[in-house]
Amino acid sequence: MSIYDFSVKSAAGEDVNLSDYKGKVLLIVNTASKCGFTKQYEGPERMYEDLKGDGLEVFGFPCNQFGGQEPGSDSEIQEFCKLSFGVKFPVFSKVEVNGENAHPLYQYLKAEAPGVFGTKSIKWNFTKFIVDRNGKVVKRFSPKDSPEKIKSEIVKIIKN
């Protein structure tokens, strides 16, 4: 099994196969519009703009499992991301990241890159995963790790 075995739903409800992104470095983030970390949309968008030509793709996955901080519909979330932060990277359909209804992609990400002390659950919004060009999940970052802090890690992976 690899990251390329999964498909996700676009905000418009269309299937998107992650195999379409083979050879790209992926930054995958669970997002929320009404969270203290919501300003972190800015960092991934800047990285996307700066590094897309070098092979970076950023994926946002809205999730309402943490304090009900992503209550909107997929279309409302899209509008918020574009108007508030100028987001151009794909923000997919809302998913669950923990529990029995966790999206299979997130089940895989958590198994491949557990958190501190080997914990698999995601603790909060804006947990970040980096996937290398070969589809290997190489690192997990906590919500407290700002996008600016992880940019050097992403650049290293892009250059390898």
| Cβ-proximal residues to 158 (8 Å cutoff; 6+ apart), any chain | 25, 51, 54, 55, 56
Residue 128: exposed, middle, or buried by beta-carbon count in 10 A (0-12, 13-18, 19+)? buried
The tokens 């890690």 sit on which residue?
153
The span from the CA of 57 to the CA of 66, in Å, is 25
Catalytic residues: 35
Closest by Cα among 1, 4, 36 to 134: 4
At 67, give phi and psi (nearest 5°). 70, 20
The span from the CA of 160 to the CA of 140, in Å, is 18
Longest CA–CA span in the chain (Å) reads 39
Q: Which amino acid is at 116?
A: V
